[in-house]
Structure 1
């Protein structure tokens, strides 16, 4: 199916069904409310605002793009993406900036959501092994019996960790996933030996290396690194919403996509140091600005240059989830309904 026709077809399908519940992402989607200035208000939950993988959310605010495009965006923070998706489905927020893989997992659970703009073309994740375990844990094949840190159970880091286990011959349940969040809680879990290895992002990676607590085992901060580890392009951070919300508020969604496409273009035309200058100082207080800038410079290639879904991306993600996720494995998934490029093509 051509991506530009997808949202229209989804609308027609929901109308024909005339039920509008789980098939269309839940009933009750409302027109976005407006503030005193007449701007549409959109509540967006981010799976870790200070993570560099979600940097475009706050950068867009710093650059004044939300206001320039006539939308009142309220950003909230939730370290684990799985909790962010739950909040959206419960109507507590309107949208999520999280990993695209949640859309496939949710469709398998009878929920209809879709990514409308891709922010990352690589996960930006690194599997870090505790320094005193590095001699014995040399690959994911050595994960048997180990405690592995993830941001949350059911999160994208959990998905990726389980895939690395399955791909490298580790039997299901032979390793234990431990929810430790990110940032200081992840570092503490490593320091207190609650976990033997774990998957995290910048600037947590640099914090661990600076303290000599852990070192990289699997590096997916670049598209090439992700392809080596996962077998293909793995689109990661995106803006996703329920299909019902997209259908009810196409103008608001278009404005949001315009904002993020413009932000992605700004990232491509500015240095890591210039980007860091636009971020809140407390985002790099734990590691120092120099380390933050170096980390960002090393992984700047993970950001999408245009917001479009990589051609092989959805299938790669489905292949990964199908390897271990019982919700997805063996189920029929219509990938065309989990994303759309229609809004990106129209972005100004």
Structure 2
């Protein structure tokens, strides 16, 4: 009997010790939480963020990822620099702009090779046939200092307009952008899907310049324009290579999913409120624009130079500065993910 009690006690203590060891091992192996801010995750240009979450690819990599929403990319950038988030899904051009300020961030996964943006014009102004006709007009952008602001100024300049010929107005995206156009606070503006399709479908606006495909982007800007990306502070990347590799693995799998599935199949994975009451319109918009996404997360070779050309003209931070483009992105992780 005494042997039995001793055996039970010894077995129980061994079981507790093993459980404690397993718990310690589990905690040691658990990834720290990674918070990524998305510059408007309902926008189709940033679709890979929510799609990766929906497909379970973060969890497959053993990652604990939280996605936060922020309407303007410039505000998401500020959150990254403040240390509130570890990554941003936003436009690559922030990596160039920030280097001019002495801050080093880099695109670690390049989602797109075209902006996915469109310059729309209110149908209250039927005489506007080209960008040159926007002289004296208020043009909506996501925010002052945002990617849409720089692109708008660059395209207007190519059309012969100077900075004083029009006013760029921060109008956000989605409902705020639509309201600004309905109230005639802006007469034209740069926005993304599904806002574009909503305005066109209701007859409130029409497309003036289309930057949703690689071909139309080359025609308007002179080259491919890498836009949506996952960018992170270089120092954080260097110190967390394992986590960054897992993020790259997850996002590259998503880009391959986008490349190999129909717009309808992709839409089924997205939150239903992203359709804004028009699923067919959402699918059609995605079908027309999903060619903007890279198939492998690799930076297009000629892209950074196009971005630098735009910023060198209209970013006060970049103008006249020497920028080392090789430090604004890395292909290390996405190539390892292949």
With the length of structure 1 as denominator, give the TM-score of the two structures. 0.88
CA change 1:209–1:122 in 2 (3 A) is: same
Alpha-carbon displacement from aligned partner over 1:261-286 (angstroms, at most 9, x marks no partner): 00000111110000000000000034
Distance 2:64 2:126 in 1: 47
1:182 pairs with one of 136, 155, 173: 173
Q: How far is the alpha carbon of 1:40 from its aligned partner?
A: 2.7
CA change 1:264–1:148 in 2 (3 A) is: same
Distance 1:233 1:218 in 2: 15
Aligned twin of 2:17: none
Q: How does 1:118-137 map to 2 (within 5 A)?
A: 118-135=110-127, 137=128
Aligned twin of 1:167: 158
Q: How far is the alpha carbon of 1:70 from its aligned partner?
A: 0.8
Q: Please state whether the residue corresponding to 1:218 is helix, strand or coil.
A: strand
Structure 2 unmatched runs, 5+: 1-25
Aligned twin of 2:77: 85
Aligned twin of 1:282: 273
Aligned twin of 2:314: 324
Q: Please state whether the residue corresponding to 1:159 is helix, strand or coil.
A: helix
Aligned twin of 1:233: 224
Distance 1:35 1:292 in 2: 42
Q: Please state whether the residue corresponding to 1:241 is helix, strand or coil.
A: strand
Superposed structure 1 runs of 4+ greater than 2 Å apart = 34-37
Q: How far is the alpha carbon of 1:35 from its aligned partner?
A: 7.3
CA change 1:148–1:317 in 2 (3 A) is: same
Q: How far is the alpha carbon of 1:317 from its aligned partner?
A: 0.5
Distance 2:331 2:167 in 1: 37
For the pair 1:262 / 2:253, whether they are aligned, the reply is: yes
Aligned twin of 1:21: none
Distance 1:268 1:60 in 2: 14
For the pair 1:154 / 2:167, whether they are aligned, the reply is: no
Q: How far is the alpha carbon of 1:36 from its aligned partner?
A: 9.1
Number of corresponding residues? 313
Q: Which has the larger share of helix?
A: 2
**Backbone CA RMSD of aligned residues:** 1.3
Alpha-carbon displacement from aligned partner over 1:53-87 (angstroms, at most 9, x marks no partner): 00000000110000000111100000100000001
Q: Rg: which structure is higher?
A: 2
**Is the CA contact (8 Å cut-off) linking 1:232 and 1:312 kept in structure 2?**
yes
Q: How far is the alpha carbon of 1:210 from its aligned partner?
A: 1.6
Structure 1 unmatched runs, 5+: 1-33
